Amino acid sequence: MMLSLNQMTTRAWDVPELLTRCAAAGVTSVGLWREPVLEYGLGATVARLDELGIGVSTLCRAGFFPVGDDVAAAKSQRENRAAIDEAAALDAGALVLLGGGLPPGSRDLDGARVAVARGIEQLLPYAAERGVRLGLEPLHPALCADRGVISTLHQALDVVERFPVPDVGVVVDAFHVWWDPQLWDAIARAGDRIFAVQLADHPVTLQDPLNGRLLPGEGVIDLRRFVHAVRAAGYRGAVEVEVFSTHHWSRPPEDVLAEVVCRTVSFLEEVS
């Protein structure tokens, strides 16, 4: 399977440096984030991608569907439509949707979860017209309250299966779901709903659920089994390495990229 580098892993690099470095390292797919893409320019990014022959596995990120706040909901919809336009221009494999957290002061987790399905329903026509695939990403339960109320892959599938298969699917990041006793069943169920796959590893003791993640192979997740499972479910796209890590961000990004390649090449190559 093909390696993709999510730019969060080497976030000190701007888009042109990221793309040049990836091309030099033989990495022909990237996961991009909206803010650095807009900083460099959407057109310039597209041109540079074409020039170097690099594809975009995901654009991060949209979603965050507010509840009970019309102004916030309108703003969210504008942002989400802009993200869809950008994903279309970049020909991204998926636009990553996060469920968003609880509204300020709320304890209504069920309500926030219902809002995710409603939000996707509202966004879907705009995305489908532009050929953009929406990928709902379940987040680790430690991030439930502040950024992602969709906590398991089965739960994400319960949402996305209401919508047509080519338009709405899931993004599966090993860090977020590795602990789930139902993970392997859920991956098999996901099948062609898997629009993107991300890897990050988990330390023995998770001191920082947001930025304490590890490079593949540094931690406790059986990532080889994970990659084989998504392939067995039918996924044939690139496998992104996306590592939020205060530690690795403090290193020279070129060292991190070299280590990502070294750590993943063996088990990605064994999965055809």
Q: What is the dihedral of CA 199, 131, 154, 139, to 10 degrees?
A: 50
Of 11, 34, 113, 248, the one binding its own copies (CB under 8 A) is 113
Instruction: Write the burial class of residue 72 (CB in 10 Å: 0-12 exposed, 13-18 middle, 19+ buried).
Output: middle
Window 212-241: contact mask with its own copies (x via CB under 8 A): -------xxxx-------------------
Q: Are 204 and 220 in contact (CB under 8 A)?
A: yes
Q: Which is nearer to its own copies, 221 or 227 (CB)?
A: 221
Q: Are 136 and 159 in contact (CB under 8 A)?
A: yes
206 binds its own copies, rule: CB under 8 A: yes
Q: Which residues of 94-109 are buried (b: 16+ CB within 10 A; e: fewer)?
A: bbbbbbbbbbeeeeee
Q: Where are the beta strands (DSSP E) in 200-249?
A: 239-241
Q: Which is nearer to its own copies, 48 or 113 (CB)?
A: 113
Distance in angstroms (rounded) separating the CA atoms of residues 160 and 142: 22
* Residues in region 38-57 near its own copies by CB under 8 A: none
The bridge status of strand 134-136 relative to strand 239-241 is: unpaired
Task: Provide, rounded to whole angstroms, the least separation between the CB of residue 236 and its own copies.
Answer: 25
- 21 prior amide bond cis, ω within 30: no
Q: Which is nearer to its own copies, 129 or 146 (CB)?
A: 146
Window 135-164: contact mask with its own copies (x via CB under 8 A): -----xxxxxxx----xx-xx---------
* Residues in region 6-45 near its own copies by CB under 8 A: none
The bridge status of strand 3-6 relative to strand 29-33 is: parallel
Token pair recorded at residue 24? 């030099």
Window 81-110: contact mask with its own copies (x via CB under 8 A): --------------------xx---xxxx-
179 binds its own copies, rule: CB under 8 A: yes
- Site size for its own copies (CB under 8 A): 34
Q: Which is nearer to its own copies, 38 or 210 (CB)?
A: 210
Task: Provide, rounded to whole angstroms, the least separation between the CB of residue 73 and its own copies.
Answer: 20
205 binds its own copies, rule: CB under 8 A: yes
Sites of contact with its own copies (CB under 8 A): 101-102, 106-109, 113, 140-146, 151-152, 154-155, 178-181, 202-209, 219-222
